[in-house]
Amino acid sequence: MVIRDVVKRTGLQKRTIYYYIDKKLLEPAVDPRNGYHNFSEEDVTRLSVIRKLREAGLPIADIRRILANPRTMTYYLHKQLKQLQIQLLITEETIKSLDQFAADLPACHSLKDISAQLEKAEFKPDISKYQVQFESGDARLIAGYLWQYYLEAPMADYRQFLWQKVMQYTKEHTHSDLKVMSGYLEFLPPEKLDEASVSQYLRNRKIIGLTPETYPVFIEEMKDELRRFASDPVQKEQWSLLYEPVIRPATLFAYGANHWMTEFHPDYEKYYNNIHACCLALRDELADGRKTELAELRDQLEQIFGKSCDLETSSYGELEIAASFSQSVYAQLPPEEIRKFLETEK
């Protein structure tokens, strides 16, 4: 369709549509006979999405990433909501402070008088006391990160009930054991979050498609991935920095929600059962002292995991996290950046 029809369909002006084309938010086909753009239904859909997200105040850069990977929309909505909440709280607190200051202000006869009075004033509100107001948004961020791949099916009544249970469970942990995880997801550059999200989605689909007959092949792949993880000093340092404050709490939390999620979506049940079986089998192989070819890998992992992750008794699900570590959110920052983040969380 020609741009005149697109204007009618979307309510956007021509110059706005051309601006979005210039910013590479859409790339409509060009008619070679006359050089005019030939817009498709998908282009109209993209423009409608762009229009609404711009109305909500999202920047072009974030919209571009949403269009490239719609599954990440939760992250960018959370980011925008939190920014707006903070701006609103700062404005409200500043209005209160300014109103009180104006009411108490005596007559000022010089700039010196004004300066003396302003020295006593405080117009930089402390919004940390409002942290509880961000609870719902932080819970959505964490739930979206953990389970965004299973939210596509229609929300029938029972599924809605289960999801409410999951969200309530998430809220209960958001400002305790998951507080650092929430901060870490916000700290990550959006493009890094996108990369990890796509990689995790592809891996999840692979695991969902496993069968008992293909378990051995996947387990061998995990061994190779674990060997690369165990021989990479950067990944080992990233694991060491993030394990206690972020990885372990998130792992235990997700495990606690499994009974809801396995009912919530059949694909999650497949994912959980398959990865559970593969990790359990791999743990048993690593614990088998007769398998000398795994002795070096077992020693390396035990050294990395330390006392916090005993392969012979517990936490074998963390084998999957270590195996997929290089593509996960945990490996998206260099160790020095992780240290800066952790310093801000103290």
CA distance 220 to 234: 23
Query: Does the model's pTM come out above 0.75?
Result: no
Parallel/antiparallel/unpaired status of strands 29-30 and 37-38? antiparallel
- The residue with greater pLDDT, 57 or 117, is 57
Backbone phi, then psi, for 70, in 5-degree steps?
Answer: -55, -25
Burial of 22 (0-12, 13-18, 19+ CB in 10 A): exposed
**Residue with structure tokens 């956007």?**
12
Assigned token pair, 59: 């920047």
Torsion, Cα 285 289 290 293, to 10 degrees, reads 70
CA distance 327 to 320: 12
- Of 55-69, 133-147, 301-315, give the range with the top mean pLDDT: 55-69
Taking a C-beta distance cutoff of 8 angstroms, is the pair 138, 182 a contact?
yes
Q: Tell me what percent of the residues of the chain surpass a pLDDT of 70.
A: 94
> Residue 69 — pLDDT band, cuts 50, 70, 90?
confident
* Mean pLDDT computed over 129-156: 73
What pLDDT score does 311 carry?
Answer: 56
CATH class of 3-55: mainly alpha
* Mean pLDDT computed over 268-285: 92
DSSP string, 3-43: HHHHHHHH---HHHHHHHHHTTS---EE-TTT--EE--HHH
The answer on pLDDT for 308 being more than 80 is no
What pLDDT score does 279 carry?
Answer: 92
CA distance 236 to 170: 29
What pLDDT score does 309 carry?
Answer: 60
Torsion, Cα 273 275 276 277, to 10 degrees, reads 80
pLDDT tens-digit readout, 8-48:
999 999 999 999 999 999 999 998 888 889 999 999 999 99
pLDDT tens-digit readout, 190-223:
778 888 888 888 999 999 999 999 999 999 999 9
- Of 103-107, 149-153, 155-159, 168-172, give the range with the top mean pLDDT: 168-172
What pLDDT score does 217 carry?
Answer: 97
Backbone phi, then psi, for 42, in 5-degree steps?
Answer: -65, -40
Taking a C-beta distance cutoff of 8 angstroms, is the pair 198, 327 a contact?
no
The answer on pLDDT for 235 being more than 70 is yes
What pLDDT score does 91 carry?
Answer: 86
Give Cα separations from 134 to 139, 151, 175, 189, 292 (angstroms).
Answer: 9, 22, 10, 20, 51
Residues in the chain: 346
